[in-house]
Amino acid sequence: QKEVEQNSGPLSVPEGAIASLNCTYSDRGSQSFFWYRQYSGKSPELIMFIYSNGDKEDGRFTAQLNKASQYVSLLIRDSQPSDSATYLCAVYNFNKFYFGSGTKLNVKP
């Protein structure tokens, strides 16, 4: 079992819609959770991180963490074509970052 699982997609949403990206992790002791965005041919860039159960909002992005169910999600409101990228979920546990394989998001104009 992989430490971090993501649906590879692609997830297609129309411009202006809400995109919902999900991630599950295997180790209940995981401490912190990160979402990275990676454009094709580029390196990952951090969108946001979350440590505590609940929601954390930053502009159009909301991260949601549910430790009991071991999942973390990212909501993108008012999706734009420029949001089209692969979104990587990362989990920090025991001094290591574990990455999911990413979900490809396509936002159609």
Partner 1 sequence: KAGVTQTPRYLIKTRGQQVTLSCSPISGHRSVSWYQQTPGQGLQFLFEYFSETQRNKGNFPGRFSGRQFSNSRSEMNVSTLELGDSALYLCASSPDGQGNTEAFFGQGTRLTVV
How far does CA 109 lie from the centroid of its chain? 22
Using CB under 8 A as the binding rule, the residues of this chain from 6 to 65 that contact partner 1 are: 31-32, 34, 36, 42-46, 49, 51
Regarding 88 and contact with partner 1 (CB under 8 A), the answer is yes
Q: How far apart are CA 15 and CA 25, in angstroms?
A: 29
Cβ atoms of 33 and 20 closer than 8 Å: no
Q: Which amino acid is at 8?
A: S
Instruction: Using CB under 8 A, count the residues that bind partner 1.
Output: 22
CB of 73 to partner 1, least distance (A): 18
**Interacting residues toward partner 1 by CB under 8 A:** 31-32, 34, 36, 42-46, 49, 51, 88, 92-93, 95-102
